[in-house]
Amino acid sequence: MRRLTDLLYGRGATKFETNDGFQLLFQCWSLVGIKPLKLYRLRGMLHMCFCWFLLLLCPFTFFMGYLHTLETEPLTVQLNILQAICNIIGLPLKAIAITILLTHLRSAEPIFARLDARYESVASREQIKNCVVVSTRLLASVGLMFHFYGITTYLQALLTRGYPMGEWLPFTDYILRPTIRYWAHFIFEVFHVAFLLTVQTSMDVFPAVYIRNLRTHLKLLTERVSHLGENPEFTDEENFDELVDCIVTHQELLEAKNILSSVCSITLFVQFVIAAIALCIALLNFFVFADTVQRVVTLLYYLGLIMQITPTCYQASMMEVDSAKLPDAIFHCNWLAMDKRSRKLIIYFIHRAQEKISFVALKLFNINLTTNLSIIKFGFSLYTFMNNVGFGQNLKELLE
């Protein structure tokens, strides 16, 4: 297992493999109990039980905390908690889906290993190494952004002598001394929120990481196909075998894509719905109710919401673009130098390669930048509608 610094900066004497790009992701899932640390070991089972207790506890504690804030906190704080609850309700659903389908998702690893074995040139291995670095940095950067939002909520809670998310923790109510009760509640909530943000990061970024690796191998295949028939030392049989291997590579890429699509379809559908609702709440809070401090927190949350869906949508859109280049590369290869059998097979390959590689969330939403912009636009449209009918101002005047 490589060190994190090696993955972030591409260090190390040995060559990188595509599966190295998933190392940080699976380490996060082991940390939060999605993947067992040591299967059938007592400490590993206790760790998983504790993590799932925290994960399944969060919708109940946050919702009960929100009900308590209806009587004690201003509306801007209530909306901050409400927009967080939208994400938290979907978090156990996504975690359960990943846990059930984790073995199926990991079945793509042997496919990536076989794809790696086909490329031994320095340029090809460099592309694979760069993909590993980008995948690791993507997960790390989104995680840092999410935890930066968490830090702002912790600091805001300290300044106002409140709690980061206002969770309801009945076991701290039995502590008689107010100071000890406050710090016990605060420390547990900070730990709980940090845990949930780590889960959220891994759930939202894993499709982007996998798609990025699929894109790398699709580019390598496109480059390989474009040079078919150009080697003068190859016989007709060797050219045919190379073409057959390219077709097999393409089939294995489609197989890996189908595995990923079956896993991320559920999680991305949940995230799209949650993002649309939470974006609207965040905009309403930012423009109508929030003061200066709350606007900073809300803006960070808004950016975090966009980052939950944008990396995956961007990578999926680029995958569609890259897949459209494959038929052109096949057509422009040196097929005139190949025999009749190879030319017939090239026609079949072009026909199969013309099928666009795309991802769909539960056969309802196309996963691409168009959907991403539509969700952001929906949040603004819904806010504009409520603003035009005076919903925000009327509610503000009613509460005041």
Residue 208's pLDDT is: 92
User: Which residues are CB-neighbours of 299 under 8 A, at least 6 positions away?
Assistant: 286
pLDDT in tens, 355-378: 888 888 877 778 888 888 887 777
Task: Please report which residue ranges of 227-284 form alpha helices under DSSP H.
Answer: 236-284
**Is residue 272 within 8 Å of 371, Cβ to Cβ?**
yes
Cα–Cα separations (whole angstroms), residue 216 to 101, 102, 119, 207, 317: 24, 23, 12, 14, 14
**pTM for this entry:** 0.87
Q: How would you class 396 by CB atoms within 10 Å of its CB: exposed for 0-12, middle for 13-18, buried for 19 or more?
A: middle
Q: Decide if pLDDT at 216 tops 90.
A: yes
pLDDT in tens, 52-61: 888 888 888 8
**Is residue 214 within 8 Å of 253, Cβ to Cβ?**
yes
Closest CA to 342 of 225, 222, 255: 225
Cα–Cα separations (whole angstroms), residue 311 to 286, 337, 367, 371: 24, 42, 11, 12
**Is residue 319 within 8 Å of 221, Cβ to Cβ?**
no
Residue 114's pLDDT is: 92
| 75/322: higher pLDDT | 322
Strands (DSSP E) found in the chain: 360-361, 365-366
pLDDT band at 394; cut points 50, 70, 90:
low
* Least confident span in 145-154, 237-246, 293-302: 293-302
Q: Please state the rounded mean pLDDT for residues 168-173.
A: 76
CA distance 347 to 67: 64
Q: Decide if pLDDT at 210 tops 70.
A: yes
Tokens of 339: 């025999």
Tokens of 112: 């990536």
CA distance 142 to 145: 5
Residue 399's pLDDT is: 47
**Is residue 176 within 8 Å of 167, Cβ to Cβ?**
no
* Least confident span in 74-78, 230-234, 275-279: 74-78
Q: Please state the rounded mean pLDDT for residues 219-230.
A: 87
What value does the mean pLDDT of the chain take?
82
Tokens of 115: 């794809």
Closest CA to 197 of 148, 164, 156, 136: 148
Q: Please state the rounded mean pLDDT for residues 183-211.
A: 89
Cα–Cα separations (whole angstroms), residue 315 to 193, 198, 214, 306, 372: 28, 21, 10, 14, 12
Q: Please state the rounded mean pLDDT for residues 62-74.
A: 75
> What is the percent of the chain where pLDDT is above 70?
90
Q: How many Cα atoms occupy the beta-carbon half-sphere of 291 within 13 Å?
A: 5
pLDDT band at 182; cut points 50, 70, 90:
confident
User: Which residues are CB-neighbours of 321 under 8 A, at least 6 positions away?
Assistant: none
Residues linked to residue 365 through DSSP beta bridges, in sequence order? 361
pLDDT band at 339; cut points 50, 70, 90:
confident
At 386, which amino acid appears? M
Residue 212's pLDDT is: 93
Closest CA to 218 of 87, 90, 353, 31: 353
| 297/268: higher pLDDT | 268
Residue 209's pLDDT is: 92
Q: Decide if pLDDT at 267 tops 90.
A: no
CA dihedral sign, ordered 41, 42, 43, 48: positive
Residue 289's pLDDT is: 66
User: How much is the CA Rg of the chain, to the nearest whole Å?
Assistant: 25
Residue pointed to by tokens 């990536």: 112
| DSSP for 344-379, written as a single string | HHHHHHHHHHTS----EETTTEE-SHHHHHHHHHHH
Q: Decide if pLDDT at 392 tops 60.
A: no
Q: Please state the rounded mean pLDDT for residues 214-232.
A: 88
Q: Please state the rounded mean pLDDT for residues 229-239.
A: 80
Helix, strand, coil shares, percent, the chain, to 5: 80, 0, 20
Q: Decide if pLDDT at 391 tops 60.
A: no
pLDDT in tens, 75-122: 777 777 777 777 788 888 888 889 899 889 999 999 999 998 888 888
* Least confident span in 155-164, 290-299, 362-371: 290-299
Taking each helix axis from N to C end, the angle separating 340-353 and 292-331, rounded to the nearest 10 degrees, works out to: 160
CA distance 187 to 164: 10
